[in-house]
Amino acid sequence: MNEEIKSFTISIYTENNIGLLNRISAIFQRRHINIESLTTSQSEIDGVNRFVIVVNITEEKASKIVKQIEKQVETIRAYYHTEDQTIFTESCMFKIKSDLLFNEPQIQNIIKESYARIVTVNREFFVLEKSGRRNEIESLRRDLNAFGIMQFVRSGRIAVTKDQMKITELLTAFNNQ
C-alpha cells in the first residue's frame, strides 16, 4: 500500500443516533489524526445520515480507520476515497460593509468574476455566498481581505463519489432478512 500522505475523503453512512459523532470522532482522536473538515447531514436514504470527513493520512491508515468505523454498531458502511475519485465542494459566506459595495467599484468586479452570489444587502452590510473548490474560496477571501471582511465562515467539504456506494442494496438486503 502507498505510504504517501494524501487527502482522503471518508464517507460514513450511519443510523441517526445521538452519540455517534462522539464515537466516530474518538476513533480519529485516539490515533492522533487531525480532522481537516467534517460535515454531517441526511443522506439520499430516509433515516440514514452521512458523514463526510476529510483527513490527510496514508492509505494504509485510511483503510484501517474505515474498518474501525465500520465496526461501530450504528455504522452502516464506511468508505474512503482519494480526491480524484470524488466530486467535492465547499461553501462559504462573507459579511462585508455595505459602503464598500457602492464606493469600491472593484468589489463589484470581484463578485462578478468569482461567481459569488449576494445573499442579502442592507444598510450596514451585505452577505456574499460562494461554493467551490478550496482554492477558489481562498482566492476570493484574499481579494476581499484587502477591503476588510466583517465575518467569514467556510463549511466542511461535501462530496459525492464517482462510483456507486451500494447502501440502498445493503439496507434492502437487511430488511428482507
Binding stretches for another protein (CB under 8 A): 14-15, 17-19, 22-23, 26, 30, 63-64, 67-68, 70-71, 73-76, 171, 174-175, 177
d(CA 68, CA 78): 9
Q: How far is the CB of 19 from another protein (least distance, A)?
A: 6
Q: Which is nearer to another protein, 61 or 157 (CB)?
A: 61
The Cα–Cα gap between 27 and 69 comes to 7
Q: 105-114 vs 134-145: helix axis angle to the nearest 10?
A: 180
Residue 81 CA, distance from chain mean position: 14
**Cβ 119 to another protein, closest distance in Å?**
34
Q: Three cell numbers at 45?
A: 436514504
In angstroms, give the least distance from the CB of 2 to another protein: 14
d(CA 141, CA 92): 10
Q: How far is the CB of 111 from another protein (least distance, A)?
A: 43
Comparing CB distances to another protein, the nearer of 73 and 153 is 73
CB nearer to another protein: give 75 or 86: 75
Instruction: Detail the DSSP E strand segments found in 58-174.
Output: 75-82, 86-97, 117-121, 125-132, 151-154, 158-161
Kindly tell me which of 63 and 103 has the beta carbon lying closer to another protein: 63
